[in-house]
Structure 1
């Protein structure tokens, strides 16, 4: 059974059979030196249980949220979904405070019946702002070049989405089974740690910006979160599991709440 009755966003998420548990466990542990504090998440979104599939063969669905904040990070949150063969998902996003010139960290690790969809990026607040992007991409591109050669390309992203991704957007589709499992273990896992470690280094050295710069960064963050809320690809899946009212509230009030 998965953990029930979680009373705080900092309570550990433990879901039986969830493929992405080691990734979240690593991220939570890596954040500990930054002294994370609980982030306010309404109780009905901390952990939700449901079923999918047919009446004859129902499948249990668990959706859990882990979230924290720190002095330099407005919100760190993980949306975790386990629905057996139907879906297994970790959507992990770090939202920086607008008082620091930092990108977003984004990881989407998704298993569906037709394969794995996997994405990692340090996503820019303002892609056209060299002051914002230059110091990040200089360090990020070597990681991208290291790992992209080990993975099939995930294909093009829509033109409207391009302003919200860096040139180091690591995006792949891999098959289920032994081949995909091997790539997750030998490529996706170390790539996830490399991208996250770089982000944590950026946090450690980030210095406060002035009020003018802060307002500029906040406007970029608001554009990003509005776009992500509007285009969230999990909307259909979550609506099937829990209904549209719960799903829209989860997307707008928890996942992209800026």
Structure 2
């Protein structure tokens, strides 16, 4: 997943922090890969995939070539914490917002003396989504393991966590691999009642020419909400994937009338890297989050994992290279248009934010001004 939409009618914070699935003209400029076309039929079975190192040094070799070498050499990512320890390292799942904590610390009167931070009315709206996804991955993915969000031998910065105490904003990230997925990244951004964001992006293992799963859930000032959940195509046509999939999503989307919005073409072209069955909505009624969005989110994630497991992985190096090239095109396309850089820079500094954008969020993206 990942994968976000810039909404001018929302507050400036929301305008800045749309962190994943935006577009540009880059897609049109991408050369088509001259590799054998993958089979277009669905099949059954799941074989054990090879591990992929997450991060690669800039030594003049393309990121796709380096990923292919890792595949061929069966390289494994550096050791990291076990899943529970990795999540707990920065206190996740958080129970109180940084905004709540700040409010308590500033109000020492008798009335607030025995009041817990959560009572001050700053909910972590999307934390149940984080918690459900963590549990779902543990129960349904094969050989799920934590991989570092950054590598100290390559990157100058640590991308697992950052915080601006003065402005009361914090961001936490986790990254995983499994036999089914080469990368699953999760991000929670908490800025109190000003902004809450849950973002995740699921990249299938390159043995699977299937869409990327992107999730972007945003809340601004507890008044404006923006929602995106999509099987994001990596090919021009749905039938160019290993298997068609939109027919699986339509019945789910049809069950939630408040989630059937359409994107504006003002800032991107929805024909690129978006499906026709994308869950998309802008709304002001908070009840929609748990009445409709939460079950739709669960059903989309479950369907994506089922889709992976129903298909037989390709053993062709040409097929895998093609998928990695499409992942690289997707990452560059997304990083080029992602407007989150402004907010991230204001909160955490330009240097950290540029590295975070290209070295973690979209680590296969081309970056002419790469900051490692």
Range of TM-score over shorter length: 0.7 to 0.9
Matched residues in 2 for 1:129 and 1:141: separation?
Answer: 14
Q: Which of 276, 287, 296 is residue 167 of structure 1 equivalent to? A: 276
Q: CA deviation at 1:128?
A: 1.9
User: Secondary structure of 2:241's partner?
Assistant: helix
Deviation for aligned residue 1:72: 2.1
Tell me which of 196, 200, 220 is aligned to 1:92.
200
* The one of 18, 22, 27 aligned to 2:128: 22
**What pairs up with 1:99-138 in 2 under 5 angstroms?**
99-113=207-221, 115-132=224-241, 135-138=244-247
Q: 1:63 to 1:226 in 2, by over 3 A?
A: same
Distance 2:194 2:82 in 1: 26
Distance 2:348 2:341 in 1: 10
CA contact (8 A) 2:229 2:279 kept: yes
Q: Which moved more, 1:64-73 or 1:154-163?
A: 154-163
Task: Tell me, yes or no, if the aligned pair for 1:126 and 1:217 is still in contact at 8 Å.
Answer: no
Q: CA deviation at 1:59?
A: 4.1
Is 2:210–2:243's contact at 8 Å kept on the other side of the alignment?
A: no
Count, aligned residues? 241
Given that residues 200 and 216 in structure 2 are in contact (C-alpha distance below 8 angstroms), is that contact kept between their aligned partners in structure 1?
A: yes
Q: TM-score, normalised by structure 1?
A: 0.86
Say which is worse superposed, 238-247 or 10-19, in terms of deviation.
Answer: 10-19
Counterpart contact for 1:117–1:174, Cα < 8 Å: yes
Tell me, in whole angstroms, the C-alpha distance in 1 between the residues paired with 2:81 and 2:361. 16
The runs of 5 or more residues in structure 2 that have no matched partner are: 1-79, 98-123, 151-156, 365-372
Say if 1:152 and 1:174, in contact at 8 Å, map to a contact too. Answer: no
Q: Tell me if structure 1 keeps the 8 A contact 2:167–2:347.
A: no
RMSD of Structure 2 on Structure 1 (CA) = 2.0
**Which digits, 9 at most, give the CA deviation of each residue in 1:149-184, with x for residues without a partner?**
234725424454521100011111111xxxx22100
Offset from partner CA, 1:188-228 (integer Å, 9 cap, x none): 00110011110111122232212232222222111111111
Using the TM superposition, give the Cα deviation of residue 241 of structure 1 relative to its aligned residue in structure 2, in angstroms.
Answer: 0.6
Contact 2:93 2:131 in 1 (8 A): no
Aligned to 1:156: 264
Question: Residue 275 of structure 2 aligns to a residue in which SS?
Answer: coil
Separation (CA, whole Å) in 2 of partners of 1:214 and 1:152: 34
Structure 2 distance, partners of 1:83, 1:159, is: 27
TM-superposed CA distance for 1:99, in Å, is 1.3
Structure 1 match to 2:38: none
Aligned to 2:348: 242
- Structure 1 residues 111 and 133 mapped into 2: Cα distance closer, same or farther (>3 Å)? farther
Structure 1's unaligned 5+ residue stretches are: 1-6, 52-57
Greater RCO, 1 or 2 (C-alpha within 8 Å, sep 6+): 2
Q: Which has the higher helix share?
A: 1
Deviation for aligned residue 1:74:
0.9
Aligned to 2:57: none
Which residue pairs with 1:3 in the alignment?
A: none
Identify which of 21, 39, 44 aligns with 2:158. 44
Aligned partners of 2:260 and 2:145: how far apart in 1? 38
8 A Cα contact 1:9 1:68, kept in partner: no
Q: TM-score, normalised by structure 2?
A: 0.61
SS in 2 for 1:164: coil
| Larger Rg belongs to | 2
- Pairing partner for 2:170 from 41, 62, 79: 62
The answer (yes or no) to whether the contact 2:209–2:242 under 8 Å persists in 1 is: no
CA distance in 1 between partners of 2:149 and 2:342 (Å): 22
